[in-house]
Structure 1
Amino acid sequence: MKAYNLLTISLFLATLGLSACEKKVDPFVDRVQSPVLVLIDNATGDGGGMTAEPVVSQKIGGPVTLAVRIYELDKSGILDNKVGIDSIPVASLALKLTTRTGTALGNLTTDASGKATISKTWAELGVAKPAAGSSVSLTWVGEYKGQAFSRYSRVQGTN
C-alpha cells in the first residue's frame, strides 16, 4: 500500500512537472517592422505626423486634401555619426486609402519625392453633414519589396 501511494504521488509530480514545461502561446499578434516610414502631411500637434494616429484638421466647408510621404530608411550608416540614417523617398509606390470600415477612397501613386495626395469631399468620406469635430478614421495600405504595410490616420473637421 505504501509503495502504491509512493508510485501515485511520483506519477502525479512527474505529470505536473512535464505540464509545467509546456510552451505558452503568445497572445499578441506577430508584428514585423514596416519596410518604409509613412509620414502624414499637415498632421496637427507634436510629432509631425509620426504619432500613433496622426490627425489632419480640415475645414468643413471645403474639400478634404490628404497627403502622405513615403521614405525608405537606409540604416547602413547608423554607426557613423557623420552619416546616420538616411531617408530616401520611395517613388512610384502604389497606395490604397480606405476608411477603417473598409470603404475604398482611392488608389494613389507616390511621385519622385515620395509624396501622394488625394482630395475628397466630406460626403465621399461618409460624412453627409460635416460639423466641427466630425472625424473619419483612415488606413493607408501598400506593399514595398514584397512586404505589406499599413498606417492609420484620421481627418477631423474644423470651422
Structure 2
Amino acid sequence: MSTLLAAGSLLAGCEKKEDPFVDRVVAPVLVVVEGASDGGGLTAEPVVTQKISAPVTMSVKIFELDKSGILDYTVGIDSIPVTSLAIKLTKRDGTAIADLTTDNTGKASLTKTWAELGITAPAVGSSVSLTWRGEYKGQAFSRLSRVQGVN
C-alpha cells in the first residue's frame, strides 16, 4: 500500500510546466543576411565585413518556407520571397537606423556611413551589432547580425 501511495504522489507531482527562461516561438520567416562570412548568414549572429574606408552596405532576403511538400523528395521545402514587407533595422540598444521594405525578390538593402552607424573614426575591427525586425502574418520576428570593419 505504501508503494502505491508513493507512486501516486510522484505521478501527481509530474505536470508539464512552461519554461520560465526561454520563450520559444517559431519564426514565421527565414531571414538570410547577405554577404555574411558564413556564406549564407544562417549562424546565430552572422557577421558582414565592410571596408572602413567606404560606406557600409547591408541587405537581407526574407522568405516564407512552404513545407507542404516536405515528405515528397521531388518537391521538398520551397522558399517563397516575402514582398512589400516592412523591416526596421536598429542597433542592439534600440537606436533606429532605417525603415526598409522588401522588393519583389524579398530583398531589403541600405547603405550608410560608419558615422551614421555611430562610429565616427572606424578602425579595423570596429563593429556594430544590429537587429532586423518585422512582423509577418501577425507574428513578430527579429534577426541578429553584425557589421565589422576591415581594410
Task: Please say whether Structure 1 and Structure 2 have the same fold, judged by a TM-score greater than 0.5.
Answer: yes
Deviations 1:129-148 (A, max 9, x none): 10000000000000000000
Residue 25 of structure 2 corresponds to residue 32 of structure 1: yes
Aligned length: 143
Displacement of 1:51 in angstroms is 0.8
Q: Match of 2:61?
A: 69
Q: Match of 2:72?
A: 80
The unaligned stretches of length 5 or more in structure 2 are: 1-5
Whole-angstrom CA distance in 1 between matches of 2:55 and 2:138: 34
Whole-angstrom CA distance in 2 between matches of 1:36 and 1:26: 24
Whose Rg is larger? 1
Q: Match of 2:124?
A: 132
For 2:36, give the aligned amino acid.
A
For 2:86, give the aligned amino acid.
A
DSSP-derived class of the 1:65 partner: strand
Root mean square deviation, CA, Å: 1.8
| % identical aligned pairs | 70
Mapping of residues 5-154 of structure 1, within 5 Å = 21=13, 26-45=19-38, 47-154=39-146
The unaligned stretches of length 5 or more in structure 1 are: 1-13
Runs of 4+ in 1 over 4 A off after TM superposition: 22-25
Whole-angstrom CA distance in 1 between matches of 2:71 and 2:140: 28
Deviations 1:100-147 (A, max 9, x none): 011000000000000000111101111111000000000000000000
